[in-house]
Amino acid sequence: MEGYILDWANMLLRWVHVITAIAWIGSSFYFVWLDNSLTKPTAPDLKEKGVDGELWAVHGGGFYNPQKYLTAPKQLPENLHWFYWESYSTWMSGFALLVVLYLFNASTFLIDKNVFDMSPGAAVGFAVSYLLIGWIVYDSICRLFNKNDRLVGILVAIYIAAAAYVACHVFSGRAAFLLTGAMIATIMSANVLAWIIPGQRKVVAALKAGQPVDPIHGKRGKQRSVHNTYFTLPVLFAMLSNHYSMTYAHKYNWVVLILIMLSGVLIRQFFILKHKGKINVLWPAAGVAALGVVAVMIAPQPRPAVAKGGEAAAATVSFAKVQEVMNARCVQCHAEQPKMMPTAAKGIKLETPEDIKAHAQLIYQQAVQQKAMPLGNVTQITDDERALLGQWFEGGAKTTN
Reported as a single tens digit per residue, the pLDDT across 190-210 is 999 999 999 999 999 998 888
Asked whether the beta carbons of 170 and 115 are under 8 A apart, the reply is yes
Q: Which residue type sits at 231?
A: F
- What is residue 399's three-state secondary structure? coil
Residue 56 scores a pLDDT above 90: yes
User: For residue 203, what are the contacts with CB-CB under 8 A and spacing of at least 6?
Assistant: 72, 213, 214, 217, 218
CB 229 within 8 Å of CB 28: yes
Mean pLDDT of 70-83: 86
Average pLDDT, stretch 6-32? Answer: 93
Q: Is the pLDDT of residue 34 over 90?
A: yes
Does the pLDDT of residue 362 top 70, yes or no? yes
Distance CA 166, CA 176 (A): 9
pLDDT at 251 over 80: yes
User: Does residue 313 surpass a pLDDT of 50?
Assistant: no
What digits encode the pLDDT tens for the residues 61-74?
Answer: 999 999 998 888 88
Kind and range of the H or E element at 51?
Answer: strand 51-54
Answer whether residue 51 shows pLDDT above 60.
yes
Average pLDDT over residues 375-380: 85
Cβ neighbourhood burial of 249 (10 Å; 0-12, 13-18, 19+):
buried
Share of the chain above pLDDT 70, in %: 96
- Measure the CA–CA gap between 354 and 340, rounded to whole angstroms: 22
Could you give the 3-state DSSP secondary structure of residue 67?
Answer: strand
Q: Alpha-carbon distance 237 to 177, whole Å?
A: 9
Inform me whether the pLDDT recorded for 315 exceeds 70: no
Q: Give the chain's mean pLDDT.
A: 91
Backbone angles phi, psi at 374, to 5 degrees: -65, 155
Burial label, 117 (beta-carbon count in 10 A; 0-12, 13-18, 19+):
exposed
pLDDT reported for residue 286: 98
Strand partners, 59: 62
pLDDT above 80 (res 304): no
Report DSSP state, residue 64: E
Instruction: State yes or no: pLDDT of 173 exceeds 90.
Output: yes
pLDDT at residue number 306: 54
According to DSSP, residue 70 is labeled S
Interval 133-162: pLDDT, tens: 999 999 999 999 988 999 999 999 999 999
Are 180 and 163 contacting, i.e. CB atoms less than 8 angstroms apart?
Answer: yes
Beta-carbon count within 10 A of 168 CB: 26
- Residue 283 pLDDT greater than 90, yes or no: yes
Residue 235, CB half-sphere, CA atoms under 13 Å: how many? 22
pLDDT for 344 beyond 90: no
What is the biggest distance separating any 2 CA atoms in the chain, rounded to whole angstroms?
Answer: 89
- For 51, phi and psi rounded to 5 degrees? -75, 125
Instruction: Using alpha carbons, list the distances in angstroms from residue 324 to 9, 162, 313, 361.
Output: 34, 41, 18, 18
